[in-house]
Amino acid sequence: MSIANLAPSSESEIAELVTSETERVHIAGGQSRLIATEKKIISTSALNGIVEYEPGALTMVAKAGTPLSLIKETLQKERQQLAFEPPEFQHILMLPGNSTIGGVFATNASGSRRIQVGAARDHLLGVRFVDGLGRIIKNGGRVMKNVTGYDLVKLLAGSWGTLGLITEVSFKVLPIAETQLTLKLNLCDARILTTAINTPYDISGTFYDAGLRSAYIRVEGFDESVKYRVQQLLAEFSDFEIDILNMEQSKKFWKNVNNLDFLKNITGDLWRISVKPTDGIKIIEILDPKVGFLDWCGGLVWIRIDEGCDVRGKIQKLAGHAMCLLGGFDQFHPSSVIEKKLSASIRNKFDPKMLFNQEILN
């Protein structure tokens, strides 16, 4: 039995649905998670397919319900990729679904390469969506540079389906690097991450295991170039004991990072905390979790901590926000009073009846 009870296949169908709808609905992508408990679900599963792909222009257009796996496979054939490495959390959250490209952008889901190439929002070039009034709206386009009018593309990226149902996205893609290597520095300080990123060697991933005190530094590119940069980094960090992960090991390691595999099989609430990079290690010191890891040069903290621990209350003095992925707390961190006011007004413009995802970001 399919959970989805509505699966419209066109924008006009969605617009019609929305105009006549009075009950609240939840927008479901691949249903890697159903956050809300609304009875009715609008699934994007029938909005499926790659609309256009121009490898020479580094751009792709796809319908929102297209499985992320299909996008990745198609890009792979041209040796290209979604450079922001969208994470997939189904394993750790023990959910059956598969991510969709619309869901990736609706949650601004971005992985380790963010420190080098930016987040999902930085790769999203255009959106089409149907808002809560049934209006079919487009913004941005399929070209890489576009400043025509306001940037609602950024607004929709990370809006978690609260402003409208995204029907189509166009985005920038990038070449897959010829090769990659990862340096593993043993028994080092978290500060190593910022030292590494501030070398001229174009680091594409930094990760720190606070328990074992080891740091991982990824270098990608053409063969000769990667070898050269690794040599330079070895010299830079000659005080440390260093292991080198070869291409296969390196790929596997970063995949595990992106899927949070290292947080599996550990009990406790799961939190994701976004802070100033140099504050990352302070968060771990303050909270003293069961396990703690840093990504994004320290700017992204992943922890598992005793159930019921109010993480937000304990780290208030550090700027940033904490999201609870598994545990009894509201998933979203409340924003400042004035941001809340502006955000509520914006939502009211696009979805005055609060049809979509009522419980999210509310």
Partner 1 sequence: MYLTDPNPNILAKKMELVDKLLSFLPSDAVIYDPRETLAYECDALSAYRCPPMVAVLPRTTEEVANIVKLCWELDVPVVPRGSGTSLAGGALPTGDSLVLGVARMNETLEVDYSNRLMRVQTGRTNLSVTGEVESDGFFYAPDPSSQLACAISGNIAMNSGGAHCLKYGVTSNNLLGVKMVTMQGEILDLGGAQLDASGYDLLGVICGSEGQLGIVTEATLRILRKPEGALPVLIGYNDSEVAGQCVSDIIKAGVLPVAIEFMDRPCIRATDAFSQAGYPDCEALLIIEVEGSELEIEEQLAKIIVIANKHNPVELRRAKNTDEANRIWLGRKSAFGAMGQINDYMCLDGTIPVSKLPFVLKRISEMSKEFGLDVGNVFHAGDGNMHPLILYDANKPGDLEVCEAFGAEILKLCVEVGGCLTGEHGVGIEKRDLMHIQYSADDLEAQMSIKDVFDPKWLLNPTKVFPLDASVKRREGASQETAA
Ligand X SMILES: Cc1cc2nc3c(=O)[nH]c(=O)nc-3n(C[C@H](O)[C@H](O)[C@@H](O)COP(=O)(O)OP(=O)(O)OC[C@H]3O[C@@H](n4cnc5c(N)ncnc54)[C@H](O)[C@@H]3O)c2cc1C
340 is a contact residue toward partner 1 (CB under 8 A): yes
Widest distance between CA atoms in the chain: 67
Q: Which does 339 bind (CB under 5 to 8 A by kind): ligand X, partner 1, none?
A: partner 1
Site for partner 1 in 124-163 (CB under 8 A): 131, 135-139, 141-155, 157-159
Neighbours of 47 (CB within 10 A): 26
87 is a contact residue toward ligand X (CB under 6 A): yes
Pick one of 82, 104, 263, 284: the residue that binds ligand X (CB under 6 A).
104
Q: How many residues belong to the chain?
A: 362
Kindly state the tokens that stand for 59.
């751009």
343 is a contact residue toward partner 1 (CB under 8 A): yes
Q: How far is the CB of 106 from ligand X (least distance, A)?
A: 4
Which positions ≥6 away from 15 have C-beta within 8 Å? 130, 134, 135, 136
Site for ligand X in 211-270 (CB under 6 A): none
Kindly state the tokens that stand for 317.
């003095």
Q: How far is the CB of 192 from ligand X (least distance, A)?
A: 25
Nearer to partner 1, 45 or 80 (CB): 80
Task: Name the residue type at position 246.
Answer: N
Nearer to ligand X, 103 or 140 (CB): 103
Give whole-number Cα distances, 173 to 140, 165, 204, 211, 350, in Å.
Answer: 16, 23, 16, 35, 29
Nearer to partner 1, 221 or 268 (CB): 221
Tokens 């006549």 correspond to what residue?
20
Let me know: does 220 contact 182? Beta carbons within 8 Å: no
Residues engaged in binding ligand X (CB under 6 A): 27-33, 35, 44, 64, 86-89, 93, 95, 97, 99-100, 102-104, 106-109, 160-161, 165-166, 272, 323, 325, 357, 360
